Structure 1
Amino acid sequence: MSGDDLDQLLKSDDKILKTLILHKLNERNGLGSVVSGFKALDNKKYAEFISILLEINPEISISLLDRDLLAFDVLDSLSILNSAASSKAGLKLFNEQVLAYLHSQSSNEDTYIILLATLTLIKHDKQLNKKEPLHNHTNTLINLSSSTASLTDSQMKVFLEALSYLSSTPIIADKLSQHPATINVALSAIQSPSTKISTQLYSQENSSIPSDTSIEFALSTTLANICKYAPPLSEEAQTVKKLHKSTKQLDMEDEEYMGTDRVRVRNTRMLEIGVGGVLSVLSKSKSLLTRRNTASVYLGLITNDSNRAVLLKEGVIKALLQIISQQPTPLASEDLAANQALAKMTITTPPSSLYTPPITTSAISFIRPFFEMLVHDSALQLQQFEALMALTNVASIGPDVAERVSAAFDGAILSATHSHLLSNHEMLQRASVELMCNLVGMSETAFEQYTTSSRARVNCGILLALSDAELVQTRLGASGALAQLCGMSPVVCAHILADPAKFMRVLIALLGDEIGLVHRALCILDATLDACREVLREDNGARQAIQESGLVDTLKTLILRLANEAGGRDVLPILKDALIKLKECGVSIQVSS
């Protein structure tokens, strides 16, 4: 830049342009070119320049300071100090005299000066990890919001920034949730027809969405800090946390106030205050960071399933789909909060309340968000579990949707589901097998994985093994899938009978289980005896394995149980049919001695 250009820059009233150019000069190590002209500025321009520069390069800014910080106009002094408090390096400017000055200004009669002084003190104390003074700063904002009829745009911006810093401390977040007047002032920055707040709380000309996205971001950050749960920890992270706890490096107060019960109560309060309407507006923000924060708030609120009915009425599904539709490519881990929140809603919400007509078309639009969460490199096991469960519910809409789930993304959902069938994580196994159970009976693509695929026999063997899994839900899903497949294809029956000893072992275990599993086992047995009758008549080895397994004794003992158990009588005809077919296959149905 020429000397004249620099001179014009320094004297310019365009703060945004000045900030952008100083950023560029800093990137190119060219800030030295403005130093000489900077020193000749009047106090007003000097203060503005140094305030901007402190945000960009605090070290150079501090080295340039050659005027008394407290000799400027009050707002100019506060502006410089506020910028300085944004970095560790800037703390060099905060001596006892400066701190006393800030405390005195936080009791000023001017609302904006109170807010700016308080914000600066908050940032200073946060930089030094001083928690105790934060309570006093919080009280300042609570008292101010209780006594102030309205805030101007500039006041609101500082007020929200102060709240965003304060709320990052869990005990303060909890305290703020107990003061509806303060939250209502914050929410009034965004006008929404469904917010339970007076439209007079925030005097802005445009009563829909503020043009300054920093207001949206600060508000959404505050709400996210109040509503979010502590993130699930990996096994390694849990080990590190235990180590920190044993060495007293863990903040136990933060631990307490980020506990599940504390967060749940906070979220209930926030919902009662009326945060839902504002969230639906924030979901349309042009700011990616604001939308991510909004999704985080929704996820926190939705985690408590008792909140879901209220959120449904306040448009949570539309808002989440709005956020998801604007996600970047590729997704970052922070983007998954929206997908996870939608998955939680899908798992527990009846289709008639979840999807807009036509339901099939609407349900199909849910497939991509769950797939992206299922296969994302950064997805937590809980997120993968919920993606699978949500896809299970989507697939249950009908054959057309189930086929779309199976065939989507060149079969990538099916591939991921097969992988999770072999997971060491019990809940992932359960969710994947439940999805497969829903798909095989309604989707040709899924059905072919167990009949005509080159891995059909292996896939059938996996379902048979999972029918004897630890979790009852996994056993129900796997045996349910097999019962459907065996009833539809003799090929599947032949695959699971290929190892008759294993087949009998799993079958007998199911026959001794709860009534639902007994029903599935009998359906599998009946269909297999039907499909493989000729094979069993000719295969002495298979017939002998059945005879020696104790199956006949198990079935005959089961007759008495079913006759006396609720729902058992409905299953008895299948059992009797199976005994007849065993005899027709050459298996003796005499009870062994």
Structure 2
Amino acid sequence: MLSTDLEVDLDTILKKSQEKSWNTLLQDELNLLVTAFLPSQPLTIRSKAYIGVSAFCQRLRETSGKPDEATDAIARALGPAIISRLAETDEQNVISGLTFLTALFQVDWQAASAIFTQDGAIESVFDGADLFPKSSDISIALAQLLGQAVGHKTCRVAVPPQYIEWLESKSRQNADAATRAAAAVALIKLSRGSESDASEIGGSEGPSSSSSSDELMKLMKGLVVEGLNISSLSDAVEGLAYLSVDPKFKEQLSSDVTFLSRLFSLIPHKPSASTDTPEAGMSPIYGTVLIISNLCAYRPKLSQEEAQIAKLRRMAKVPGKGQPEEDPEVSKLEDEEHVQERGRRLIEAGVLGALSAAVKATDSRAVRLLVGKALLSLVEDKENRGKVLQSGGAKALMTIIHGVLPSPTSSTQPHNLSPLHTLDLEPIQALAKLAITASPVQVFGPNEGALYDAIRPFALMLVHPTSNLLQQFEAIMALTNLSSSSPEAADRIAKAEGLMNKVELLMLENHTLIRRASTELICNIVAGSEEVFNRYGGERNASAKSKLQVLVALCDLDDLPTRLAASGALATLTAAPEACQSLLELQTERHHVLPIFAQLVDPTIVPLPDESGNEDVVEEIRSPTQGDPGLVHRGVVCIRNFVVGVEDSAARKELALEAQRLGLVQALARVFKDNSADRSAPVLRSAAEALKCMMECGVSITA
């Protein structure tokens, strides 16, 4: 059948698959799908066939009650066509049976495994090798099928030793590079799977190969460097993708400049037609990016709970049960220093250009998310961030992020935060790291639209239910940087759905860095967003009063940056008389507002006893920074605004007298005197106005 006719017939099947009642394949349709996976068919035909088989399997799973019942239904529908072709004496029929089963493993591995492990099925699979011992097409198809099958334990344990010996012999021959590569990939998967089987407590070991990983690594690397044909290249890249998780091989591969140069060249620098079919899953682009991601990946950072569980598992391991202790030398290769050095070697070899090219070359979600993961690892090292920006890394990350972010639900909700998968947060986190250490212009360029576009993903990462503390911290830091660029940016950040509630909650977090970053973001938003300013300082209600109370409390912590941010926010908010009135109520109720402001100006000021004789102590024991100029300036502004902003003259006089009892008046006088030589000092005017107001209230000034 001509490929054009075959494509038309495949289009007909795909059209039928959209019908709700469709759940069967006619015999002619099944025959069509089976032959569509022959190596001689063009990529467009195989891609459409993948979609057709996937749609059929998905429909049966949707209409069947239980997963096992769906697996049996798919196996019954497709199995006979596969087994009958494997029993044929015609070479093309045998190849079509092998390639179709290989494709089914990529679409629905449960059903494919059920067919592969049927009585007599494995023997039928190898009958073709006996009938056509000199056929390279049969050998390649068989090796590729085994490469898929041994990736699953149920199939792995069913493969007889003689078939593993067949793979080993094919991996050692030099006559056919494509067969050699496919066999080597199968052996690598078998070896990795057997190791996984052995590590399971009480699990049985699967069959293992005698070919060493070192030999297979050398073979795979040589095939990439030689680049003889696309088939062997694809298999070699897939094999290296499995091997490159080993720290020893990470060091070898990242140190071979010739190999890296050849590997990066596999990524085209022009857009290519791509799909998310299973066949595209292990394309040279995907495999190459996966290798890159493995080479520069850091060990996962475990929480305290996860680290404790891992420790208990290590303690529970029984010697001699296939669970050897980790080699200290191998473990050392995964420390931060070695990972950073591998990343720098990759950058030196041109990996940044390859990653940017991968984003342009394909719209595959899987490939782009892997690029985001690789860039996240590379920007973990601060020394790499400038190079990533220079190579267009920020633009590549924005492209990836735009591809994974769902569209807002409506035009009236530009900041709608639709849920994302946890893996989708990795490119956002990578962009956040860049936005933390560079100015917004350096990261997003002069176009404000690009900067505004980054607000939504950062806000989403902050409020996402699966984001960890580090991701939340970096999202806040990035948003803080953006909010400082313009009032418009600050206002847009404040309007992101769920953001303000999350940040206000994190201001109470015990983690110092999280609390500090949240307070700094609030300080910027209060200064830039009129709406937030009014919500904190321009309204007289319990909510605004509570927010001000939190900021006052944060001014009294043992963390200078947090105190600077909180007092900065209050210096802005106290410009509103409503905020001053709320603070006056807090002062009347708790007697702590003025003492905390006073300690910003002079940390030696001690709170006075309250009416019960107890000091108005703070929640945390503090060793204040003596005379920090930033705190002094903010404290003077807060006091000036507070005293002047209280409209009731009797209340203002009481505040002035309280300030005198605390020693605050004398502290303000000293600040004025110390800065009087510099008439342009920002603190001078505020100190003078505060003292003037207090003098009008009958307080005498003595320095």
TM-score of Structure 1 vs Structure 2, range by shorter chain:
0.7 to 0.9
Match of 2:101 among 42, 47, 53: 53
Map of 2:333 onto structure 1: 257
SS of equivalent residue, structure 1 residue 106? helix
Name the CA distance, whole Å, in 2 between partners of 1:478 and 1:402: 17
Q: Per the alignment, do residues 288 and 499 of structure 1 end up closer, same or farther by CA in structure 2, a change over 3 Å counting?
A: same
SS of equivalent residue, structure 2 residue 495? helix
Name the CA distance, whole Å, in 1 between partners of 2:399 and 2:525: 28
TM norm structure 1: 0.86
Shift of 1:50: 4.1
Shift of 1:269: 1.0
Q: Per the alignment, do residues 538 and 36 of structure 1 end up closer, same or farther by CA in structure 2, a change over 3 Å counting?
A: closer
The amino acid that maps onto 1:471 is: D
Equivalent residue runs for 1:74-153 within 5 Å: 74-92=139-157, 94-109=159-174, 110-129=176-195, 133-146=212-225, 148=226, 150-153=227-230
Greater shift, 331-340 or 394-403, is seen at 394-403
Map of 2:511 onto structure 1: 425
Map of 1:581 onto structure 2: 693
Matched, 1:324 2:414: no
Matched, 1:280 2:368: no
Does the 8 A contact of 2:429 with 2:475 survive in 1? yes
> Can you list the C-alpha shifts for 1:411-454, whole angstroms capped at 9, x where unaligned?
x3323222222223322221111111112222111111212343
Q: Per the alignment, do residues 261 and 497 of structure 1 end up closer, same or farther by CA in structure 2, a change over 3 Å counting?
A: farther
Shift of 1:504: 2.8
SS of equivalent residue, structure 2 residue 212? helix
SS of equivalent residue, structure 1 residue 233? coil
Greater shift, 34-43 or 506-515, is seen at 34-43
Shift of 1:277: 1.5
Does the 8 A contact of 1:227 with 1:266 survive in 2? yes
Does the 8 A contact of 2:359 with 2:396 survive in 1? yes
Map of 1:363 onto structure 2: 451
Q: Indicate the RMSD between aligned Cα atoms, in angstroms.
A: 3.3
Name the CA distance, whole Å, in 2 between partners of 1:582 and 1:290: 67
Equivalent residue runs for 1:9-408 within 5 Å: 14=38, 16=46, 20-21=52-53, 24=57, 27=71, 28-29=73-74, 30=76, 31-34=78-81, 37-38=84-85, 40-42=87-89, 44=91, 45-46=93-94, 48-50=96-98, 52-53=100-101, 55=105, 56=109, 57-62=112-117, 63=119, 64-67=121-124, 68=126, 71=130, 72=133, 73=135, 74-92=139-157, 94-109=159-174, 110-129=176-195, 133-146=212-225, 148=226, 150-192=227-269, 209=272, 211=274, 213=280, 214-215=282-283, 216-247=285-316, 251=326, 255-284=331-360, 285-329=362-406, 330-357=419-446, 359-408=447-496
SS of equivalent residue, structure 1 residue 331? coil
Q: Per the alignment, do residues 66 and 419 of structure 1 end up closer, same or farther by CA in structure 2, a change over 3 Å counting?
A: same
Shift of 1:260: 2.1
Match of 1:434 among 520, 529, 544: 520
Map of 1:472 onto structure 2: 560
> Can you list the C-alpha shifts for 1:498-549, whole angstroms capped at 9, x where unaligned?
3332113322332323221111111111222222375455664x45543433
Equivalent residue runs for 1:446-465 within 5 Å: 446-453=532-539, 454=541, 455-465=543-553
Shift of 1:94: 4.5
Q: Per the alignment, do residues 337 and 252 of structure 1 end up closer, same or farther by CA in structure 2, a change over 3 Å counting?
A: farther
Does the 8 A contact of 1:374 with 1:387 survive in 2? yes
SS of equivalent residue, structure 1 residue 41? coil
Counting aligned pairs with the same residue, the percent is: 28
Map of 1:551 onto structure 2: 664
Q: Per the alignment, do residues 430 and 9 of structure 1 end up closer, same or farther by CA in structure 2, a change over 3 Å counting?
A: closer
Shift of 1:267: 0.9
SS of equivalent residue, structure 2 residue 536? coil
Does the 8 A contact of 1:209 with 1:281 survive in 2? no
Does the 8 A contact of 1:391 with 1:405 survive in 2? yes
Name the CA distance, whole Å, in 2 between partners of 1:268 and 1:538: 62
Map of 1:497 onto structure 2: 584
Greater shift, 507-516 or 555-564, is seen at 555-564
Shift of 1:563: 8.9
Shift of 1:7: 5.7
> Can you list the C-alpha shifts for 1:166-201, whole angstroms capped at 9, x where unaligned?
122333223321122222222111133xxxxxxxxx
Does the 8 A contact of 2:538 with 2:576 survive in 1? no
Does the 8 A contact of 2:490 with 2:529 survive in 1? yes
Name the CA distance, whole Å, in 2 between partners of 1:5 and 1:573: 87
Q: Per the alignment, do residues 170 and 567 of structure 1 end up closer, same or farther by CA in structure 2, a change over 3 Å counting?
A: farther
The amino acid that maps onto 1:527 is: N
Shift of 1:493: 2.4
SS of equivalent residue, structure 2 residue 172? coil
Match of 1:508 among 594, 598, 606: 598
Map of 1:195 onto structure 2: none
Greater shift, 460-469 or 229-238, is seen at 229-238
Name the CA distance, whole Å, in 2 between partners of 1:320 and 1:578: 50
> Can you list the C-alpha shifts for 1:56-102, whole angstroms capped at 9, x where unaligned?
32243133233446524433442343233221122235554444433
SS of equivalent residue, structure 2 residue 537? coil
SS of equivalent residue, structure 1 residue 498? helix
Q: Per the alignment, do residues 244 and 585 of structure 1 end up closer, same or farther by CA in structure 2, a change over 3 Å counting?
A: farther
Q: Per the alignment, do residues 265 and 522 of structure 1 end up closer, same or farther by CA in structure 2, a change over 3 Å counting?
A: same
Does the 8 A contact of 1:526 with 1:574 survive in 2? yes
Name the CA distance, whole Å, in 2 between partners of 1:246 and 1:583: 72
Name the CA distance, whole Å, in 2 between partners of 1:582 and 1:238: 58
Alignment size in residue pairs: 569
Name the CA distance, whole Å, in 1 between partners of 2:481 and 2:187: 51
Name the CA distance, whole Å, in 1 between partners of 2:81 and 2:229: 34
Shift of 1:245: 4.4
Does the 8 A contact of 2:34 with 2:96 survive in 1? no
TM norm structure 2: 0.73
Shift of 1:343: 1.1
Does the 8 A contact of 1:360 with 1:397 survive in 2? no
The amino acid that maps onto 2:101 is: L
Name the CA distance, whole Å, in 2 between partners of 1:550 and 1:153: 82
Does the 8 A contact of 2:356 with 2:393 survive in 1? yes
Shift of 1:381: 1.3
The amino acid that maps onto 1:336 is: L
Does the 8 A contact of 1:407 with 1:445 survive in 2? no
Shift of 1:588: 4.8
Map of 1:196 onto structure 2: none
